[in-house]
Structure 1
Amino acid sequence: MRVVPGLLVIAAVCFNAGLAVVNGNITSLGPALVIAAEMALVLAAHAVALANYRPQMLPWYLLGAALLVVACWRSMALQQFDPKYFRDVLIIPTFVVLGMTFDRRSLNRVVVIVHAVVMITLVFEILATDAYSAVFKVKEYYINTRGYDVQSFWNKNSDLFVNAVRPDSRLFSFLDLHRVSSVFLEPVSLGSYCIVIIAFICARYEELSRTQVLFLVGGTLIAMLGSDSRLAAMSSVLIVAITVMGRRLLPRSVALVYLPVVLAVAFLYVTIGGIPAGSDDFPGRIAHTVHLLSRFSVDEFLGISSDPILLSESVDSGIGYLVLTQSIFGVALIWGAIVLASANRSSDQVRYVHAVCVYLSLTMIVSFAFLSIKTASLLWFVYGVLQLPQRPQAKPDLRSVTRSAAAHPLRRRAALVS
């Protein structure tokens, strides 16, 4: 049972890639099978957590219950229930409590295994793009299971994801390469994964060997360049800058202000700079969020809006999507739990909370990709593992060692020498 939580999070990261292989090379799949696979992972995670229940899990189950109440409130107001919106946020407490069943001493090993899988697939995609396309057939998988249309893809002749080739130039334009995706099948999630690994390194660098640090940092830089993620580059720089300040300069509660501050800066940037919404770049996405939130009425903030246009436009605004589907109260509950329900005993716990809140604050402005199980599972699993204290290593009983050494001449001599 000790390895089951780690295997579940590895499966959550990789299961979409496995289904894509089946869809492209064995038999066509539909949305129902993908939903069923994700539900199976969530149920398995809770089965493991409940079988190993501990009091630290209670706040997260209470959060899940509160979010269910929000979902029921929204359903009664709109006379319809969409389980997807509850599933989106259920991912958070699910993998936090799963992480609480795992041994902190094995956490580095799980992350390194996930990173190795991501890097192997990444190198395969870069060096043999045609073979990667033939194995995963990403475009076909998303058309069959996500309802995409062929016309949505910029490059109709490619089997890669819709935005694997941007209509404008790459951020890292010195690379003559499409935007790589690895096991995530699309580059946005690979960029999010890079941020998660940077957060992990910043939180756990004291517990990582030099080889592990080189492998994680080197692979992440390659993945960041390959995915051409502006968000990953900006978030990683800020996470490193903030976490190196240390625990004393950054109490845990300071993380509460990150999201409000980022939103305030975004509104000032768009208003003063006159940034127009509509362009598919970082400034355009920020402006889109500002203009979207500016159109919200009381119903939108209460999570009971029936406006389908606002909901469809919110896919490029994580905070807008969360408010529409969870209400402003649900967002406050989630944010408060992430910061205040976290442990505050060790520096890695505090650093990771700050890193996670920096990541969420920035990504909520431009995307709702942080809700994808492919990357959210690892993000919240690490969070959960770090909530529990490191088990102290048993110290040898000096009296028994002395007695044992005295009982045998050779042992007594060895004891004297040491």
Structure 2
Amino acid sequence: MTDRAVSLLPGVATSRPLRVVPGLLVIAAVCFNAGLAVVNGTVTSLGPAVVIAAEMALVLAAHVVALANYRPQMLPWYLLGAALLAVACWRSMALQEFDPKYFRDVLIIPTFVVLGMTFDRRSLNKVVLTLHAVVMTALVFEILATDAYSAVFKIKEYYINTRGYDAESFWNKNSDLFVNAVRPDTRLFSFLDLHRVSSIFLEPVSLGSYCIVIIAYVCARYEDLSRSQILFLVGGTLLAMLGSDSRLAAMSSVLIVVIAVLARLLPRYSALIYLPGVLAVAFLYVTLGGVQAGSDDFPGRIAHTVHLLSRFSVDEYLGISADPILLSESVDSGIGYLVLTQSLFGVALIWGAIVLTSADRTAEQIRYVHATCVYLSLTMIVSFAFLSIKTASLLWFVYGVLQMPLANPGPGSPRRVETTGSLQRRVAAAS
């Protein structure tokens, strides 16, 4: 079986101009909210339907591209999507209602994985560097000209119009920035005389998540990045990390660097233990340390997740709970939100697909899946922001791109752990 694309849509060719489409789609997925905010603030008021329609259009376009360039490696991800749809149907039948948002939350994962599988890995750096340049430009603009940034994006107005926020939720009445853009004294980098920056993500939590994705990317692909590219990516990310004041980004980045160094020494599928391992440590930390939920800091968020999961009954773990209080409280607990909306079975399916279907032919594949699992394991304890298309699209697109081999080693060949650069040199030499 070859790695050549199999077109399922007649008349759709993989010509050179069309090869850039997957990259453009992921850039659009990261940036479209910022674009809509500009339209909302300067042209006409928008409603939730416009945001939903834009996201649906991106998801549909991604699947059109993927099916037009179908590869056998996509099958497990389409099966995952079908299984998650079955979970959504099970939940809707049990509760006698269907909320498409919960299915959309997890559909983002297989959507951008299969989109990534259509893209040429040799062009991946160009996409990431282009996107990083956009993020850094908006970041510097926000820092140096905050009033102008606020006037362009009018973030408060955008979230009130499109997300159902109440004006009273924004406690800083003199600012048009997001509700949590204020930098309190208890933050990690509270010594900075600057609000928590957001760049094109409009809110600082997603900018923190973006920082983690870029650190994971650099750790996975540093052999294929020049020194100037690494400096640009890492330097800009550190600036964004300081600006967004993301505790999660700082902690996750350190652990990802450590895991990246050790990844090639770890057993196959060892990333499976990260999520249950982090949960076990969280329960021990909260139980033995007597940590109480309620404070808006890292220990408080961990305790919140532990206490939330401890209150779950069988219905919650089966994903058929209609308790609005638990659902509302789960916004600060990614694993709690996933269990409530996807069931424990659905969570196991997603986690198993991420780890068990991942290739380990190259060092970058191994490092990236470990980095991804570290990021997800930590962020699931404190937030469900990892489900946002603004950052999830890039995370899973890179995952999908790296899954595709550069050359077919043939059946029965030994497992090789190589970098993209060494694979390219080997293929060139063979030619």
Structure 1-normalised TM-score? 0.93
Does 2:390 align with 1:377? no
Residue among 361, 369, 378 paired with 2:377: 361
Residue among 145, 150, 161 paired with 1:128: 145
Match of 1:214 in 2: 231
Q: Is the 8 A contact 1:121 1:183 kept in 2?
A: yes
Aligned to 1:178, the other structure's residue is in SS state coil
The residue type paired with residue 356 of structure 1 is T
Q: Is the 8 A contact 1:285 1:366 kept in 2?
A: yes
Match of 2:288 in 1: 272
Does 2:344 align with 1:297? no
TM alignment of 1:305-324, pairs within 5 A: 305-324=321-340
* Cα distance in 1 for residues equivalent to 2:403 and 2:274: 21
* Cα distance in 1 for residues equivalent to 2:268 and 2:251: 22
Per-residue deviation at 1:389? 1.2
Compare CA radii of gyration and give the structure with the larger one: 1
- What RMSD, in angstroms, separates the aligned Cα atoms of the two structures? 1.2
* Cα distance in 2 for residues equivalent to 1:346 and 1:12: 28
The residue type paired with residue 254 of structure 1 is S
Does 2:81 align with 1:78? no
Does 2:82 align with 1:68? no
Residue among 41, 54, 58 paired with 1:41: 58
* Cα distance in 2 for residues equivalent to 1:168 and 1:128: 23
Residue among 155, 175, 186 paired with 2:172: 155
Match of 1:110 in 2: 127
Tell me the matched-pair count: 397
The residue type paired with residue 76 of structure 1 is M
Does 2:353 align with 1:332? no
Q: Is the 8 A contact 2:184 2:190 kept in 1?
A: no
* Cα distance in 1 for residues equivalent to 2:201 and 2:254: 23
Deviates more, 1:58-67 or 1:383-392: 383-392
Per-residue deviation at 1:396? 7.6
Does 2:367 align with 1:351? yes
Per-residue deviation at 1:167? 4.1
Deviations 1:102-136 (A, max 9, x none): 00000011000000000000000000000000000
Match of 1:5 in 2: 22
Per-residue deviation at 1:219? 0.3
Per-residue deviation at 1:328? 0.1
* Cα distance in 2 for residues equivalent to 1:224 and 1:334: 28
* Cα distance in 1 for residues equivalent to 2:60 and 2:233: 30
Q: Is the 8 A contact 1:5 1:101 kept in 2?
A: yes
Per-residue deviation at 1:272? 1.1
Specify every segment of 5 or more residues in structure 1 that has no aligned partner in the other structure, as ranges. Answer: 399-418
The residue type paired with residue 45 of structure 2 is S
Per-residue deviation at 1:94? 0.1
Deviates more, 1:251-260 or 1:156-165: 251-260
Match of 2:245 in 1: 228
The residue type paired with residue 342 of structure 1 is S
The residue type paired with residue 135 of structure 1 is V
* Cα distance in 2 for residues equivalent to 1:333 and 1:187: 30
Distance 1:277 1:103, change over 3 A: same
Q: Is the 8 A contact 1:258 1:357 kept in 2?
A: yes
Aligned to 2:269, the other structure's residue is in SS state helix
Q: Is the 8 A contact 2:196 2:245 kept in 1?
A: yes
Per-residue deviation at 1:52? 0.1
* Cα distance in 2 for residues equivalent to 1:21 and 1:231: 29
* Cα distance in 2 for residues equivalent to 1:397 and 1:384: 26
Per-residue deviation at 1:168? 3.8
Deviations 1:70-113 (A, max 9, x none): 00000000000000000000000000000000000000110000
Deviations 1:183-204 (A, max 9, x none): 0000000000000000000000
Deviations 1:267-319 (A, max 9, x none): 11111111111111111111110000000000000000010100011000000
* Cα distance in 1 for residues equivalent to 2:263 and 2:39: 46
* Cα distance in 2 for residues equivalent to 1:95 and 1:352: 15
Residue among 365, 385, 388 paired with 2:404: 388
Deviations 1:146-179 (A, max 9, x none): 0111111131210000000044433112311000
The residue type paired with residue 309 of structure 2 is L
Percent identity between the two aligned chains? 86
* Cα distance in 1 for residues equivalent to 2:199 and 2:340: 31
* Cα distance in 2 for residues equivalent to 1:79 and 1:73: 10
The residue type paired with residue 387 of structure 2 is L
Distance 1:56 1:135, change over 3 A: same
* Cα distance in 2 for residues equivalent to 1:32 and 1:130: 28
* Cα distance in 2 for residues equivalent to 1:174 and 1:310: 35
The residue type paired with residue 299 of structure 1 is D
Match of 2:205 in 1: 188
The residue type paired with residue 32 of structure 1 is A
Match of 1:237 in 2: 254
Q: Is the 8 A contact 1:317 1:368 kept in 2?
A: yes
Q: Is the 8 A contact 2:40 2:158 kept in 1?
A: yes
Specify every segment of 5 or more residues in structure 2 that has no aligned partner in the other structure, as ranges. Answer: 1-17, 408-423
Does 2:299 align with 1:283? yes
Match of 1:408 in 2: none
* Cα distance in 2 for residues equivalent to 1:150 and 1:376: 28
* Cα distance in 2 for residues equivalent to 1:252 and 1:206: 22
Match of 1:203 in 2: 220
Q: Is the 8 A contact 1:105 1:390 kept in 2?
A: no
Distance 1:344 1:79, change over 3 A: same
Match of 1:91 in 2: 108
Aligned to 1:3, the other structure's residue is in SS state helix
* Cα distance in 2 for residues equivalent to 1:264 and 1:297: 19
Q: Is the 8 A contact 1:251 1:350 kept in 2?
A: no
* Cα distance in 2 for residues equivalent to 1:168 and 1:284: 16
The residue type paired with residue 82 of structure 2 is A
Does 2:257 align with 1:260? no
Aligned to 1:180, the other structure's residue is in SS state coil
The residue type paired with residue 244 of structure 1 is V
